[in-house]
Amino acid sequence: MTTDTRERQAIRRSSNVPAYNQLAEILEQQIAALTDEERTRALPSEGDLSRQYGLSRITVRQALKTLEAKGLVYSAQGRGSFPTMPRVKGISGFHSFTSEVRRNGQEPSTRILATTEVDGLPKSVTEKLSVTEDENSPQVHLRRLRLIDGVPIAVEDAWLPKALFPDLAPADFNDGSLYALLADRWGLEPAWTDALIEPDRASPEVSKLLNIETDDPVLVAWRVTVTAEDKVFERVRSIYRPGFSLRVARYRLG
Amino acid sequence: MTTDTRERQAIRRSSNVPAYNQLAEILEQQIAALTDEERTRALPSEGDLSRQYGLSRITVRQALKTLEAKGLVYSAQGRGSFPTMPRVKGISGFHSFTSEVRRNGQEPSTRILATTEVDGLPKSVTEKLSVTEDENSPQVHLRRLRLIDGVPIAVEDAWLPKALFPDLAPADFNDGSLYALLADRWGLEPAWTDALIEPDRASPEVSKLLNIETDDPVLVAWRVTVTAEDKVFERVRSIYRPGFSLRVARYRLG
DNA sequence: GTTGACAGGTTGTTATGACATGCTAATGTC
DNA sequence: GACATTAGCATGTCATAACAACCTGTCAAC
């Protein structure tokens, strides 16, 4: 008496989530659970998936394209579609700090150092991140200390445009992931980031916060994050302590 | 007497280049020439493009999807498709050094410091870039000094797997872009990169090469580059001089 | 003047179908 | 046994079609 313990997940046609996104999510979960050995084998063919889930081939291809854009699979004509190999581990400075660190099995924490409202961006920011649009528009400025397992990792200055987040109050920053809050309340999510990364020496102020020596080598990242519709989500300057590695995974070339 | 000076480029149906790639290239050129002002206006609608170029809407959408994956445009339901704004300038450490610097209007040069063949990767590399596959396979090791306008910018150690590039000889490294050579001779192109970036102090050896002081803060990038079919193309460790900014443009989140 | 309904245009989703192109393994021939 | 051929299967490209969802400007009603 053998029963297939893998209950095949079905596509809910009545859902407002598109079928190809549902399929992409199912496949993403399955792929994430694969071992290195299993990753060398092809995924089910487009025809198989089409039959199994009752979708047209165009919808199946759309799901695979989604995963390909994320760098999770690749397709080879005549052979099939295959999972890709993960190449680096570590914490990315670009995604949500909270969830990234947690996924890594470590405990993130954040200490808010200051929250103010300002009428424009500092010159240092506009110089690094060629700002043309909302240079002089009101911003919420947020200074945070990021810690992993209690160890200070980075000093972060973030500027969020008030135009995009009406009624954003300093009190909102107190707990949890800022990204999660912004997604909940304004339905906005970061989709792309542009960054400049450079080496520097720790200033006396920063070295005290990070508990390192003045003039220790630090990594400075300037970045601007935009939504899928290319609206500026936030601008951030992060200063990372020595010994910390910034992960840039699955960066598309060409 | 008004003549339309813009000769509309046509799609060559006999070409072996897919129609959607031809259209994507045409649009990419047109977008690159736009001013910030013009970027706020929508592109021609999918229906317009379909009629103008004699393509089905599915093919037009495929072209737009290509540009969207590159971060050059975005689409908004009910409104249209729009170009995105470029946010950062500078030189990326991830693409071809030669062409990146040239596009920036500066003069790149490279001095080869050493080329050897080795039987495996150094432990420092395998530690940083969780290598599972070809750890002990033969590699060509290449040590280069990168210069911009005659100023030394970075010391680069690259390891290329011999399995992927049969007959790769040290003499091949002498001139021009390495990437161009690899594309010409083996038809292989880098598609993705995974990287770790960390701050460090310049060693005596590196400081001499970069013409800086020992213990100056430098930026160290470890990266592995793979082809579209997820085959390891090269592994590189780059050490950048102080004052140099590494650009990470259009990095996809989520 | 403000509001609301609506028309028209735009992208989003999904289906079916056809043929091209490339890879692999089985088959057949020598 | 070695090698060429081929059938079958995989993804790639492109077309037509229909409807859903969404946005904007117009115009009428209040």
* Token pair of B106 as six digits: 């500066």
Q: Quote the pLDDT of residue B136.
A: 77
Q: Quote the pLDDT of residue A248.
A: 95
Domain ranges of chain B: 19-83, 97-240
- Selecting from B219, B242, B251 the residue whose C-beta is nearest the C-beta of A193 gives B251
Average pLDDT on A11-30 reads 94
Average pLDDT on A159-183 reads 84
Average pLDDT on B99-128 reads 92
The count of other CB atoms within 10 Å of the CB of residue B151 is 14
What 3-state DSSP class applies to A90? coil
pLDDT at B125 over 60: yes
pLDDT at A3 over 60: no
| Distance set, CA B92 to CA A251, B101, B126, B178 (Å) | 11, 9, 23, 16
Å: B35 CA to D24 C1': 25
Nearest CA among B171, B115, B107 for reference residue B144? B115
B224 and B192 Cβ atoms separated by less than 8 Å: no
Average pLDDT on A91-113 reads 92
Q: How confident is the model at residue A4 (pLDDT cuts 50, 70, 90)?
A: very low
Q: Quote the pLDDT of residue B3.
A: 45
Distance CA A64, CA A46 (A): 9
Q: Quote the pLDDT of residue B8.
A: 66
Lowest mean pLDDT among A7-11, A22-26, A244-248, B98-102: A7-11
Report the relative pairing of strands A139-148 and A108-118 from DSSP bridges. Answer: antiparallel
Q: Nearest CA of chain A to the CA of B2: how many Å?
A: 35
Q: Which CATH architecture has domain A97-240?
A: 3-Layer(aba) Sandwich (3.40)
Strand C bases near protein CB (under 7 Å) are: 8-18, 21-24
Average pLDDT on B54-65 reads 97
Å: B78 CA to D25 C1': 13
| Residue whose Cα is closest to the C1' of D11 | A77
| Distance set, CA B230 to CA A72, A74, B171 (Å) | 10, 7, 27
Query: Can you name the CATH fold of B19-83?
Result: Arc Repressor Mutant, subunit A (1.10.10)
Average pLDDT on B95-100 reads 91
- Cβ pair B196:A240 closer than 8 A: no
Higher pLDDT, B165 or A191: A191
Q: How confident is the model at residue A8 (pLDDT cuts 50, 70, 90)?
A: low
* Token pair of B247 as six digits: 């650009």
Distance CA A106, CA B6 (A): 58
What are the strands, taking DSSP E only, across B60-189? 73-76, 80-83, 108-118, 139-148, 151-161
Average pLDDT taken over every residue of chain A: 91
What 3-state DSSP class applies to A185? helix
Average pLDDT on A168-177 reads 78
- Cβ pair B74:A228 closer than 8 A: yes
Distance CA A82, CA A42 (A): 5
Nearest CA among A54, A45, A30 for reference residue A77? A45
- Cβ pair B129:A85 closer than 8 A: no
Q: Does strand D come within 7 Å of the CB of A98?
A: no
Average pLDDT on B123-146 reads 87
Q: How confident is the model at residue A185 (pLDDT cuts 50, 70, 90)?
A: confident
What 3-state DSSP class applies to B23? helix
Residues in chain A with CB shorter than 8 Å from the CB of B74 are 228-230
Question: Cα angle at A181 between A180 and A183, to 5 degrees?
Answer: 65
- Selecting from A196, A252, A254 the residue whose C-beta is nearest the C-beta of B88 gives A196
Q: Quote the pLDDT of residue B214.
A: 97
Å: A110 CA to C12 C1': 39
**Contacts for A180 with CB less than 8 Å, ≥ 6 apart:** A96, A98
